[in-house]
């Protein structure tokens, strides 16, 4: 469909593909009525997807739209419209010209502690806005963080993809064989099957910032199951580049959510680092042969992966 002339809802003309994820594609499109460019998210069902799983994915997409629409924050993508085409919902949203944090770290190397703190403050603001509305994101990770270049925009930091978010008032969705979150950024209590709360998002924020400043995962393994085991029972990768961020990262990666650093304390600690004069050496570069690992372990279409097997019958949205 590259270069397609397809028009959705007699209004949105698909132009080109921007990217793809586990469950869909994102298109650059033109709003023919308002004459502006937008992003359109299309849900793509893999061959062999069971009907019950398809229904869950479709409902999650609608919930993503509802969750994002309830938030008004500069670090959250605005949702403009939802269309039903081909029996699937299509999300029309703000077009953000940016690279993901995962792409930036992989290609340019880790961020400085100060820049990581600035990114962390923006993400924390988005999460606080969500938590105030009873929304838990559940999938904070470098692949869902957009960094706008100062040369192409205003340097904005955006948290995207509320596809597996939970919101107060929504009935639970239970599904077998779905990966709800990325293994390396899954809070320990979620891996144990406990109900996620705001503290779970803060753990994922800490893991995301760890990757940003260190250039590697805080917890890794040969496969998803080993990674989740390390998250629950293991020690994180030693700090090398974090410097003044060590205290806040260690507090966010506390395995007990009750002892985890609060949002207010996290903000105070990040503020001290974000615009303080740098006293640290340049970050250790990431070897080209060892880029930041992928956020999601690929699986055969229609088949659950190791993490899905581990979480089966434990996780409900």
- Under a CB-based contact definition with an 8 Å cutoff, are residues 167 and 179 in contact? no
For residue 58 the two structure tokens come to 């479709």
Residue 256 annotated among the catalytic residues of the structure: no
CA-closest candidate to residue 35, choices 52, 8, 11, 61: 11
- Under a CB-based contact definition with an 8 Å cutoff, are residues 271 and 162 in contact? no
- Under a CB-based contact definition with an 8 Å cutoff, are residues 188 and 232 in contact? yes
Per annotation, catalytic residue among 81, 139, 295, 305: 139
Q: Catalytic positions, please?
A: 139
């Amino acid at each position: 469909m590259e270069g397609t002339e397809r028009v959705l809802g007699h209004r949105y003309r698909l132009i080109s593909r921007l990217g793809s994820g586990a469950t869909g594609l994102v298109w650059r499109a033109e709003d023919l009525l308002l004459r502006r460019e937008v992003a359109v998210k299309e849900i793509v069902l893999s061959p062999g997807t069971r009907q019950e799983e398809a229904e869950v994915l479709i409902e999650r997409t609608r919930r993503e739209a509802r969750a994002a629409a309830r938030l008004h924050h500069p670090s959250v993508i605005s949702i403009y419209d939802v269309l039903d085409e081909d029996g699937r919902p299509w999300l029309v949203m703000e077009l953000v010209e940016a690279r993901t944090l995962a792409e930036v770290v992989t290609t340019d190397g880790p961020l400085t502690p100060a820049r990581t703190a600035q990114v962390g403050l923006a993400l924390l603001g988005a999460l606080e806005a969500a938590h105030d509305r009873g929304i838990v994101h559940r999938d904070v990770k470098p692949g869902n963080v957009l960094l706008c270049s100062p040369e192409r925009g205003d340097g904005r930091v955006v948290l995207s993809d509320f596809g597996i978010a939970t919101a107060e008032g929504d009935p639970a969705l239970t599904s077998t064989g779905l990966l709800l979150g990325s293994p390396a950024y899954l809070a320990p209590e979620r891996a144990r099957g406990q109900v996620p709360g705001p503290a779970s998002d803060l753990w994922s924020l800490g893991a995301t910032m760890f990757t940003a400043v260190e250039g590697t995962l805080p917890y890794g393994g040969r496969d998803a199951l080993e990674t989740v085991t390390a998250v629950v029972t293991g020690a994180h990768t030693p700090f090398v580049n974090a410097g003044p961020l060590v205290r806040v990262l260690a507090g966010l990666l506390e395995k007990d959510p009750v002892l985890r650093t609060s949002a207010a304390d996290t903000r105070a600690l990040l503020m001290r680092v974000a615009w303080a004069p740098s006293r640290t050496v340049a970050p250790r570069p990431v070897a080209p042969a060892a880029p930041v690992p992928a956020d999601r372990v690929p699986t055969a279409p229609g088949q659950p992966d190791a993490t899905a097997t581990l979480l089966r019958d434990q996780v409900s949205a």
